[in-house]
Structure 1
Amino acid sequence: MSQGTNQYQEIVQNGLWRQNPGVVQLLGLCPTLAVTTSVVNGFSLGLLTALVMAASNASVSPVRRWVPSEIRIPVFILIIAALVTVGDLAMHAYLHALHLVLGIFIPLIVTNCIVLARVEAFAAKNNTAPSALDGLMMGLGLALVLAILGGIREVIGKGTLFSGIDLALGPAAKQFVITVVPHYQGFLLAVLPPGAFMGLALLVATRNWLEQRRQAKAGNASSAPVDTAMAHGH
């Protein structure tokens, strides 16, 4: 397997699992806690963030050699702001109802720590293709966390799943809304900010538990041949 393929695989694994911005780096907490009242809201903002991150990284990487180090942060933020403005106007034009729901959190992508962090840490030091993939995977990793957290809060808070999907896909998409708990009166705490903190804590704990189990299995698998060799030696 070539070195380039290994690099791309590592970028994908880092974005979706090992360095997931939502549950490992804990960056972008403002949208994570604010818009995850439903799957649709969380995933929509996460997907837009992923597209902005991919475009930002792909835009910064080719020009990184010509940007003086003294002004690189303002230049990077200017590029990110321009791309966010394009996304904001596109959503306003084609997904107006969803744009109204997400509101101020769309332009606030400009100040999202994870966007500037990946531009500074990766795109400013690597070629265009890996940089674009890094931005996309980190963004999709965040979108996945937003969608899962939004699903947990929506089910517990409202008893439904995919509510508001018609905002993104049109009135015909209302048939895809799932009533998980019929005649549910709702649990207000789940859709309030404390519910977001508790849900995120649950996701972080689950991810850490799974990673510890994986490392333990890997450790046992690597020690097994050594134990067998010692047994044969005796």
Structure 2
Amino acid sequence: MLITLSEIKQISLNGVWKQNSSLVQILGMCPLLAITTTLVNGVMLSFATLLVMAFSNFLVACLRNLIPYEIRIPVFILVAAFVVTVIDLGMNAYMHDLYNVLGIFIPLIITNCLVLGRIEAFAAKNGPLGAGLDGAMMGVGMIWTLGLLGGIREFIGAGTVLGGIELVIPGTSALQVLPADYPGFLVAILPPGAFICLGCLVAWRNWVVTRAAQRAQMPPPAPIAAGGCH
């Protein structure tokens, strides 16, 4: 089933901003606290989650009319687990060093409430293309949120940006933004720092949404009368 341009825009806006998994739904807190010590870690784990959600949603949407209602949840979990296993084995084979850094959080994607929640709320009720797009856009929302959070924590905590990029692109290295003798700020790297940074991001988003709503409700400026010669 094809989807219209307006549906594409609505799904994209919901995933990236309106229903952002980290800033609005506050889901996936375990990887958010543990993995976002660097921008690279946050982005790569989010990208893996994007692949899981996009393919899981697509497969469930293709099979939704064949799945009995009574056993839908176990089937949804099996489909998502299959996709997670494929991605886990692929990263272990082709990005082994990064896989060692992300560790158990790759297979734990299956326990993320967002994955099963989007399958149940969207993929089980819509066509394959819309479902796949919904999963991908939810992943994009997670990528920019966890990437920004990881970048802030890395910058404050170590004075660098893109730490660990050599695990993804061999031959590259992190950018030392602050002086090399910067002592670092340990709290930013620890889970309390993630809570504080996340709280600031949530507050920032709420402020942006509130300001936009206030501007939408403001009456248009009164027209200025044209001056004339007397």
Same fold (TM over 0.5): yes
> Is 1:67–2:67 an aligned residue pair?
yes
1:196 corresponds in structure 2 to: 194
- Aligned runs of 1:34-113 on 2, under 5 Å? 34-113=34-113
How far, CA to CA, are the matches of 1:28 and 1:64 in structure 2?
Answer: 25
> Is 1:179–2:176 an aligned residue pair?
yes
Q: Bigger CA drift: 211-220 or 81-90?
A: 211-220
| Unpaired runs of at least 5, structure 2 | 224-230
- Aligned runs of 1:155-234 on 2, under 5 Å? 155-170=155-170, 172-174=171-173, 177-182=174-179, 183-220=181-218, 223-224=219-220
1:125 corresponds in structure 2 to: 125
1:114 corresponds in structure 2 to: 114
How far, CA to CA, are the matches of 1:102 and 1:130 in structure 2?
Answer: 30
How far, CA to CA, are the matches of 2:37 and 2:76 in structure 1?
Answer: 31
TM-score normalised per structure 1: 0.92
What one-letter code is carried by the residue in structure 1 that aligns with 2:209? E
> Is 1:138–2:138 an aligned residue pair?
yes
Deviation at 1:69, TM superposition (A): 1.2
Q: What does the per-residue CA deviation read over 1:160-193, in whole Å, with 9 as the maximum and x for residues that have no partner?
A: 00011001111x111xx21111121111111001
| Unpaired runs of at least 5, structure 1 | 229-234
How far, CA to CA, are the matches of 2:143 and 2:22 in structure 1?
Answer: 8
What one-letter code is carried by the residue in structure 2 that aligns with 1:173? T
How far, CA to CA, are the matches of 1:66 and 1:91 in structure 2?
Answer: 31
Give the superposed CA RMSD.
1.4
What percent identity do the matched residue pairs reach?
53
What one-letter code is carried by the residue in structure 2 that aligns with 1:224? P
> Is 1:32–2:29 an aligned residue pair?
no
How far, CA to CA, are the matches of 2:217 and 2:138 in structure 1?
Answer: 28
SS of alignment partner, residue 173 of structure 1: coil
Judging by fraction of residues, say which structure has more helix.
Answer: 1
1:232 corresponds in structure 2 to: none
How far, CA to CA, are the matches of 1:144 and 1:70 in structure 2?
Answer: 36
SS of alignment partner, residue 172 of structure 2: helix
Q: What does the per-residue CA deviation read over 1:112-147, in whole Å, with 9 as the maximum and x for residues that have no partner?
A: 010111000000000011110000000110111110
What one-letter code is carried by the residue in structure 2 that aligns with 1:204? V
SS of alignment partner, residue 202 of structure 1: helix
How far, CA to CA, are the matches of 1:93 and 1:219 in structure 2?
Answer: 54
Q: What does the per-residue CA deviation read over 1:52-99, in whole Å, with 9 as the maximum and x for residues that have no partner?
A: 100000000011111111110110000000100100011001100000
Deviation at 1:215, TM superposition (A): 1.1
How far, CA to CA, are the matches of 1:98 and 1:219 in structure 2?
Answer: 48
What one-letter code is carried by the residue in structure 1 that aligns with 2:95? L
How far, CA to CA, are the matches of 1:51 and 1:211 in structure 2?
Answer: 29
Matched residue pairs, number? 221
TM-score normalised per structure 2: 0.93
How far, CA to CA, are the matches of 2:132 and 2:217 in structure 1?
Answer: 34
